[in-house]
């Protein structure tokens, strides 16, 4: 099963993608996590990506597409995957479609986690992230067992640089201009499913599993 998660930054794509990956036994692939791991390890790719991420801009398609195609070619992706944060532009979606076409394959579902901008702005300031394992918490809705520490791996949690209020506003603008058109793109392909992302995260997951079966 090949699934794409659509939705604004902070809509809950990552939260849901982790649960989907666990239930259906497929890898969760987040281009944002891949970039953050590279920034943490100070790789060349990380240095390049950081310039864009810190401003709330998208990393250029050429860089992002290469990373994604390398990742989905790995053995663990044979039975599918859930993509979180990719594609974010129409050209990215077209590259993925062409790559899958060549394998006589296609994306099965594009799930749009729908959350209005007002809710997003409230959520982002409370998000705390683990840069080591990719886990995400929220200081009110999803607190870790021990304040500031990741439940999974014990790493210190951080407020992402790009979750600061001025950057969140840019990211929402970028989302509406560059990423939202993907909703029409996948709707035309007949694989778009929309869920109400303002519900409690368990109810959002219930709506998603009703779709996926």
57-79: burial string, b at 16+ Cβ within 10 Å, e else = bbbebebbbebbeebbeeeeeee
The distance of closest approach from Cβ of residue 29 to ligand ADP in the complex, given in angstroms and rounded to an integer, is 12
Rounded to whole angstroms, the Cα distance separating 212 from 206 reads: 10
| Catalytic-residue membership of 71 | no
DSSP 74-118: SGGGTT-EEEES---SHHHHHHHHHHHHHTT----EEEEEE--HH
- Among ligand AMP, ligand ADP, none, the one that 53 touches (CB under a kind-dependent 5 to 8 A) is ligand AMP
Element (H, E) at 49: helix 44-53
- Among ligand ADP, ligand AMP, none, the one that 52 touches (CB under a kind-dependent 5 to 8 A) is ligand AMP
Binding residues among 26-65 for ligand AMP as defined by CB under 6 A:
30-32, 35, 52-53, 57-59, 64
The distance of closest approach from Cβ of residue 213 to ligand AMP in the complex, given in angstroms and rounded to an integer, is 26
96 is a site residue for ligand ADP (CB under 6 A):
no
Residues 126-155: x where in contact with ligand ADP by CB under 6 A, - otherwise, as a string: xx--------xxx--xx-------------
């Amino acid at each position: 099963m090949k699934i794409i998660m659509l939705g604004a930054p902070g809509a809950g794509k990552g939260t849901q993608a982790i649960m989907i990956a666990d239930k259906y036994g497929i890898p969760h692939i987040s281009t944002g996590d891949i970039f953050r791991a590279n920034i943490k390890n100070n790789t060349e790719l990380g240095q390049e990506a950081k310039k864009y991420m810190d401003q709330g801009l998208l990393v250029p398609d050429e860089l992002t597409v290469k990373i994604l195609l390398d990742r989905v070619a790995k053995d663990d992706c044979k039975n599918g995957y859930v993509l979180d944060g990719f594609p974010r532009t129409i050209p990215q979606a077209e590259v993925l479609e062409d790559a899958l076409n060549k394998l006589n394959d296609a994306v099965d579902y594009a799930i749009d986690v729908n959350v209005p901008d007002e809710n997003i702005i409230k959520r982002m300031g409370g998000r705390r992230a683990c840069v080591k394992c990719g886990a995400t918490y929220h200081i009110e809705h999803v607190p870790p067992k021990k304040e500031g520490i990741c439940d999974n791996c014990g790493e210190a949690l951080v407020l992402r640089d790009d979750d600061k209020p001025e950057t969140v506003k840019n990211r929402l603008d970028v989302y509406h201009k560059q990423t939202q058109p993907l909703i029409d793109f996948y709707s035309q392909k007949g694989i778009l499913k929309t869920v109400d992302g303002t519900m409690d995260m368990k109810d959002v997951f219930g709506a998603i599993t009703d779709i996926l079966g």
